[in-house]
Amino acid sequence: MAATKRSKPPPPLTPAGTDPKVLRRAHFLMRLSRAWDSRFEAMARVGRIGRWYSAVGNECTTVGTALALGANDAISTVHRDLGAVLTTYLDATRLAPALFPAGDATEWDALRPPPQSLLDTLASQVFGRRGGFTRGVDRSFHYGLVKPDWGIRHVGMISHLGSMIPVASGLALANLQDGNDRAVLGFIGEGATSQGDFHEALNLAGVMKLPLILVVENNRYAFSTPLAEQYACEKLSDRAPGYGIAGETVDGLDFDAVHAAMTRAVARARSGEGATLLECMLPRMRGHAEGDGSYELIPPAEREEYLKQDPLARFEAALLARGQADAARIKEVTEVTKAIIEDAVERALLTEEPELAEATRPVFAPGEVATAFARQSTEVTGG
Amino acid sequence: MAATKRSKPPPPLTPAGTDPKVLRRAHFLMRLSRAWDSRFEAMARVGRIGRWYSAVGNECTTVGTALALGANDAISTVHRDLGAVLTTYLDATRLAPALFPAGDATEWDALRPPPQSLLDTLASQVFGRRGGFTRGVDRSFHYGLVKPDWGIRHVGMISHLGSMIPVASGLALANLQDGNDRAVLGFIGEGATSQGDFHEALNLAGVMKLPLILVVENNRYAFSTPLAEQYACEKLSDRAPGYGIAGETVDGLDFDAVHAAMTRAVARARSGEGATLLECMLPRMRGHAEGDGSYELIPPAEREEYLKQDPLARFEAALLARGQADAARIKEVTEVTKAIIEDAVERALLTEEPELAEATRPVFAPGEVATAFARQSTEVTGG
Amino acid sequence: MAETTYIDAIRRALGEEMERDANVFLMGQDIAAFGGAFRASKGLFEKYGRLRVINTPLMESGAIGAALGAALVGKRPVLEMQFADFVSCGFNQIVNNVAKTYYRWEAPVPMVIRLPFGGGAGAGPFHSQSPEAWFAHTPGLCVVAPSTPRDALGMLKAAVRDPNPVIYLEHRFLYRREKEDLGEGDLLTPLGRAHVVREGKQVTVLSWSWTLHESLAAAEELAKEGVSVEVVDLRTLSPLDEETIFTSVRKTGKVLIVHEATITAGFGAELAARVADQCFEHLDGPVRRVAYADRPSPYNKKLEQSLLPGRERITAALRKLARY
Amino acid sequence: MAETTYIDAIRRALGEEMERDANVFLMGQDIAAFGGAFRASKGLFEKYGRLRVINTPLMESGAIGAALGAALVGKRPVLEMQFADFVSCGFNQIVNNVAKTYYRWEAPVPMVIRLPFGGGAGAGPFHSQSPEAWFAHTPGLCVVAPSTPRDALGMLKAAVRDPNPVIYLEHRFLYRREKEDLGEGDLLTPLGRAHVVREGKQVTVLSWSWTLHESLAAAEELAKEGVSVEVVDLRTLSPLDEETIFTSVRKTGKVLIVHEATITAGFGAELAARVADQCFEHLDGPVRRVAYADRPSPYNKKLEQSLLPGRERITAALRKLARY
Ligand SMILES: Cc1ncc(C[n+]2csc(CCOP(=O)(O)OP(=O)(O)O)c2C)c(N)n1
Ligand SMILES: Cc1ncc(C[n+]2csc(CCOP(=O)(O)OP(=O)(O)O)c2C)c(N)n1
Ligand SMILES: [Mg+2]
Ligand SMILES: [Mg+2]
């Protein structure tokens, strides 16, 4: 069943109006995200990992939005937001010093921990290894990292789609309560917008004027379901007026458009004007999970069209066209990022499985309740 | 906290463009609903019944919309929809023959059961007596009456607000599956629109083009919460475009406007054009439940304004102004409906409490499961 | 000193904890100017303002999720469900998001969800339920159900301070019926500790909340008949204070479990199971339960009363068990 | 004859019932052209079209409510949750709307909710849960969990025909691992009847679904050691077939309850409670349970395996109980 009705995206676009520093970092991070996906897709194809939810096609949106945030703005991610995670976690200038002129490092970078170690932890996380953020207890992006000292406030997903939108609204509420001007960026697929939690959270955001930006990554399919079976409005941003919040739909192939829309949304959030629903239209470049047969259901011509729309290729073409990078630079970034990911993955694959004791680690944070839990017979606690 | 922001309703309105038969029936049913409320409010004030959720102020909306339906269109009601229940159940021409010329009876009336008996059942229901629809097991409007032979398909509420909207969408889905042209009317308060179920059901209605009309009875408060704390859009019908359905906001004081908007919505439903979100703006003429203190929280001036906006009074003023009824007729309708309700209530009060055995009546419809349930030890089944 | 009702004890706990810690805040429907359906937060909105006493739109799931978000960055939300029955609308947020966060990535989730629950008021199937078993079956939630003003106060304060999600069940029937002189001071009741309310020798009753009081009345009745009944108020259902429970059952050799929730797969089943396993050699009679029949709560008061596990049914069951 | 897998048995049941009764229809996410995440409805969309195999948007609560509405006017919806874990998003519709309708106003609600559940696939905390206890605690729901292709077929067909809501738990681990020759014909398995799968004398095992197979393997092991174990497949958890269960326990005098769900307030507690009450005089040992520790299901396969109540843990528990 084809995703009908939506018009085709406009012709090739150019990252024209964006700060060169931002463009350099964006290019690096998008390539890093893509390199990661390529590596994991390859492993999924040969059965070395169980499932892989590819973010290929989402990079321009995830990186373009996350790059508009500052230290201790919060992000809440779902399953195709690797780009936003990398953008938030990594001091790119330290990770690939050769690629960045001295002035590219930001104040936030100064707070950030050594990037290599975070990348290694992330790779171990995805493999369910001992060295991951959850030490094997939960999968890939199912964790969070709230480290105000590092300027990082990241809340990962649970599998239940839509459930994180209220949580993101709560992160925004805390900012309101603290009287600061921080913003919160939440991601969601177009499929998950059908969940009641989407509605409840955006309604709250409207009523309380929460500093929240919800980015809808509209890749036109949810698992096998095309958007015409998912919703009947013209654009999902048409829902914004119903919540009294700002709404915009941008072309997720157009880095400048994404970044500019996000920058506007962040400004609204910081100035107390409230929330934004930002829909980014993406090409469906991969199936739901690698090898699950869902991509084959999309008509071949439609698939080809999507594959031609690769936002990263367009971004690089635009860099070239505008003279913002030459072919050598693009090649270098491609190779450096590939090597960084290869390394991280290899290292992670050499790390150990989690200790078995992790399975029965506490369900309660230390305190009275945790102590009482541990007092029960081990048949129950499993302890 | 005042319900701010919404503009005041326009000056007195007139039921001009509506069929005189419809106007006669509407007048009778609105008066009947009002008489019922007056009686129960009085009982609540003296503690003869526990709680009463008054529908005073909603009559024009509940009756005006329900009167646009035909036999076996379905309705789903919540707690202030007495008017719609009466409209759906009763052959008014048999209940008060003196008030209606011979030609007023409809084809649907011919299907309907004797009105007095239904009214008596309803009164017993509200008191939790043996003779009620649920024979004491559930409260007031927490039941349904699906009797295709009578042309009645009514699904009552559960207390969880919002929950009935998906159910109404399912009634509409069944019509689609059966290929008939029946419509479904669901009611909801403006407060309950904040629930996720509102969103999920309307989204489904949009995608499947369901023959559903959701009427929002916007009385500007939910319990104690004013609409400015409930939602941030201008009109709740602004949510319709987000679902790809039709949306309209009408003045719930204007019978003609309500009835006409509903008639349009029904036509859309019947012709396969899909769902409508119809918001009716109502005056908050009573508190949440009688005597719960919620009305006192509304600023006195605002309260007075609402009480002046009584839709029934306006309707009657318009009838008079247009020469569609004279003072004697209005008096007669008022007295007859009052007497009918007095009678029904008195009779219900004389009926017996339910049999104790009702408490442990089956939770399963007869069949294999019900039999297995009954086989269990009575400590469990309570049987 | 003045006596404090159960609901006033709750209000006092909220006020004291908000005063103590600026991160504590309240969320719920109609809790601000109106003070909540049962007036548990009356006066607090005026004192702490709209960012610490937050009137939410009419939603449960979204409110629970928002509270979780705030808790993850250092706040301590206390959420009121207008009635416990409505918590089912936010069920997923509790069982999959709130409950699992600490195990998954070791982020503490200090939050309290207050559930006004229980029957006895003729309020029908949707305003009378006792949902504790659902939550006790969910790893990662602490489930408490105080039966006295003293514990209502002390456990709510302890719950607010604990770094974990606490499901706090407050019985509506007790709100204005239970009163005690509480005195001053920072009164805390430890979480995870049961309380032997009445000592006895022949039968142990395990109960909590409203049925605890009915059980005490029944024990009194049995005392007149010469039967000595020990009554244990569980207070915290999860994690369970096995020590107190097993000690009592091993002493008396007989146990009656009493709760208001429907019987099948109610929390009483878990108590029965643990006792039947861990106290097997000490049991001198079958493990018995008195609870609600497997039915929704009927609206008509007489019908409801006929199903509630009140003192008569408990007394009868105790007599039978004592004679066993 | 060809062998039919557990998942094929489900597909056959759906097909046969749709063919038999035009009111039967399917709803769920990705169930139409894609045939469902596990392909349970493969081919049915092509045959019955978009009004009988309905791909819903990504929602659970709205879909369950819609199914209820359709059921109230004569349809027989069979709803697929993509994973059982997601049913929590539609929890309120099930426990408060679907389950209570018949008691409240005597309107039959013929609907089936299919829940692909259970672990063993390294799928982590949100794709491995066993939610049966929540529903067994809710009056008005029939809860079934077949363990064989034969019963998967026969119980799904019976569930579709029953005028009541049935929660149908299908174990994902069994989908392609269990196979049987089913033959032709209209095969039904009665709802509410347990099944003594293996006769024995010394210990009774009560189990269902995946752990039933693990229990059988453990019984086999014990047989080698000279211990005779009876294994009862409950099949229907609610309402419970007490007769079969009590008969077995009274015969053997010992009982081990095995399930995959987390132990505290799991459905095994209810079984333990009923046995400890009704079979007290026949018990020669403590009522024991083997179940999941009170933890979410960890992602790493080795971690998950260490928690699953598989044959080793069951065997060990049986040995201990036999020796008791
Ligand atoms: C509450 C819930 N229901 C169902 C699912 C199963 N599911 C997992 S991913 C998916 C599709 C998601 O689509 P979308 O939100 O558009 O994100 P995309 O994968 O396209 O990026 C579905 C249905 C789920 N994860 N959560
Ligand atoms: C899911 C749910 N949450 C909370 C409540 C408690 N409650 C009962 S009525 C009410 C206000 C309803 O407001 P609205 O929908 O505007 O209807 P109105 O009473 O104003 O007609 C609330 C909050 C409920 N019934 N259901
Ligand atoms: Mg998508
Ligand atoms: Mg209202």
Q: Residue range D192-210: average pLDDT?
A: 98
pLDDT in tens, C248-307: 999 999 999 999 999 999 999 999 999 999 999 999 999 999 999 999 999 999 999 999
Length of chain C: 324
Helix residue spans in chain C (DSSP H): 6-20, 44-48, 61-72, 91-92, 101-105, 132-136, 149-161, 209-224, 242-252, 267-278, 301-307, 311-323
Q: Tell the burial category of A301 from Cβ atoms under 10 Å away from its Cβ (0-12, 13-18, 19+).
A: exposed
Q: Name the packing angle between helices A82-89 and A20-45 (round to 10°).
A: 130
Phi-psi region of B348 (alpha: psi -120 to 50; beta: other; left: phi over 0): alpha
- Predicted local distance difference test score (pLDDT) of residue B50: 80
DSSP code per residue over C253-264? S-EEEEEEEEST
Task: For C112, list phi and psi in degrees, rounded to 5.
Answer: -120, 135
Q: State the pLDDT at residue A142.
A: 97
CA C150/CA A31 separation, integer angstroms: 61
D140-172 pLDDT, tens digit per residue, is 999 999 999 999 999 999 999 999 999 999 999
pLDDT score for A321? 93
Residue B231 has pLDDT above 70, yes or no: yes
* D240–chain B Cβ distance below 8 A for any pair: yes
Q: Is the pLDDT of residue D182 over 80?
A: yes
Angle, vertex CA D170, rays to CA D166 and CA D175, nearest 5: 150
Query: Considering C127, C171, C195, C213, which one is annotated as catalytic?
Result: C127
The per-residue pLDDT for D2 is 85
**pTM, 2 dp:** 0.98
Taking the CA atoms of residue C244, residue C250, residue C252 and residue C256 in that order, the dihedral angle to the nearest 10 degrees is 70
* Residue-wise DSSP of A332-373: HHHHHHHHHHHHHHHHHHHSPPPPGGGGG--SS-TTHHHHHH
> pLDDT digits over C210-240, tens only?
999 999 999 999 999 999 999 999 999 999 9
Helix, coil or strand: residue C126: coil
Q: Which of A282-286, A379-383, B46-50, B169-173 has the lowest mean pLDDT?
A: A379-383
Q: What is the pLDDT of residue A14?
A: 60
Question: What is the length of chain B?
Answer: 383
Reduced DSSP (H G I as helix, E B as strand, rest coil) percent helix, strand, coil of chain D, to 5: 40, 20, 40
CB pairs under 8 A between B and C: 126
C-chain residues near A201 (CB < 8 A)? 62, 65-66
d(CA C153, CA A265): 44
> Cα(D201)–Cα(D216) distance, rounded to whole angstroms?
14
Ligand 1 atom closest to the CA of A193, numbered from 1: 15
The answer to whether residue B16 scores a pLDDT higher than 80 is no
CA distance B174 to C80: 38
pLDDT above 80 for B2: no
Considering CB atoms only, which of A231, A243, A274 is closest to B244? Answer: A231
**D4-180 belongs to which CATH class?**
alpha beta
Average pLDDT (B26-38) is 98
Pair of tokens at residue B135: 């024979």
C280 touches chain A (CB under 8 A): no
Percent of chain D at pLDDT > 70 equals 100
The per-residue b/e assignment along D297-311, b for 16 or more CB within 10 angstroms, e otherwise, is bbbbbbbbebbbbbb
Say if residues A162 and C124 touch (Cβ distance below 8 Å): no
Q: SS3 of B27, please?
A: helix
Residue A106 CA, distance from chain mean position: 21
Pocket test for ligand 1, best of A37, A214, A223 (most atoms within 8 A of CB): A223
pLDDT at B1 over 50: no
Print burial letters for A195-231: b (CB count within 10 Å at least 16), e (below 16): bbbbbbbbbbbbbbbbbbbbbbbbbbbbbbbbbebbb
| Mean of pLDDT over chain D | 98
User: Using one digit for the tens of pLDDT, what is the confidence trace for D229-280?
Assistant: 999 999 999 999 999 999 999 999 999 999 999 999 999 999 999 999 999 9
Quick check: B194 and A206 CB within 8 A?
no
Q: Which of A29, A108, A113 is nearest to A72 (CA)?
A: A108
In sequence order, which residues have a C-beta less than 8 Å from that of residue A142 and are 6 or more positions away? A134, A156, A157, A158, A159, C104, C105, D124, D125, D126, D299
* Contact A51 CB / ligand 1 (< 6 Å): no
CB pairs under 8 A between A and C: 172
For residue A6, what pLDDT is reported?
45
The Cα D142–Cα D162 span in angstroms is: 10
Task: For the domain covering D195-323, report its CATH number.
Answer: 3.40.50.920
pLDDT per residue over C142-170, tens digit each?
Answer: 999 999 999 999 999 999 999 999 999 99
Q: What is the mean pLDDT of residues B263-273?
A: 98
DSSP for C97-118, please give it: IITTHHHHH------EEEEEE-
Checking DSSP bridges between strand C76-80 and strand C53-55, what pairing results, if any? unpaired
List chain B residues with CB under 8 Å of A230. Answer: 207
Q: At CB < 8 Å, which residues of chain A contact B? A: 194-200, 203, 206-207, 209, 228-234, 236, 238-239, 241-245, 274
DSSP three-state, residue C233: strand
Whether pLDDT at B13 is above 70: no
Q: What residues contact A279, with CB distance under 8 A and at least 6 apart?
A: A190, A215, A216, A218, A235, A236, A237, A247, A248, A249, A250
Chain C residues within an 8 Å CB radius of A242: none
Contacts of D192 in chain B (CB under 8 A): 368-369, 371-373, 375
Could you report the per-residue pLDDT of C166-214, keeping only the tens digit for each? 999 999 999 999 999 999 999 999 999 999 999 999 999 999 999 999 9
In this complex, which chains have at least 3 CB pairs below 8 Å with chain B?
A, C, D
Residue C127 is a catalytic residue? yes
DSSP state of B9: P
CATH classification number, A20-375, choose in 3.40.50.970, 3.40.50.150, 3.10.510.20, 3.40.630.30: 3.40.50.970
pLDDT of A50: 80
Whether B4 shows a pLDDT value over 60: the answer reads: no
Any C CB within 8 A of D236 CB? no
**Domain-wise residue ranges, chain C:** 4-180, 195-323
SS3 D253: coil
DSSP E strands, chain D:
4-5, 24-28, 53-55, 76-80, 112-117, 142-144, 166-171, 179-180, 195-198, 203-207, 229-233, 236-238, 255-262, 288-292
Q: Is the dihedral of CA C36, C42, C45, C46 positive or negative?
A: positive
Ligand minimally distant from the alpha carbon of residue D56: 1
- Do residues A76 and A168 lie in contact, with contact meaning Cβ atoms separated by under 8 Å? yes
What is the rounded distance in angstroms from the CA atom of residue A311 to the CA atom of residue A322? 16
Token code pair at residue A259? 């970044």
Cα B220 to ligand 4 centroid, rounded to whole Å: 5
Whether C14 shows a pLDDT value over 70: the answer reads: yes
Per-block average pLDDT, block size 10, for chain A (383 residues)? Answer: 47 71 97 97 90 95 98 98 98 98 97 97 95 95 97 98 98 98 98 98 98 98 98 98 98 96 98 98 96 94 96 96 96 98 96 96 98 94 79
The pLDDT mean for chain B works out to 95
With pLDDT > 90 as the criterion, what percentage of chain D qualifies?
A: 99
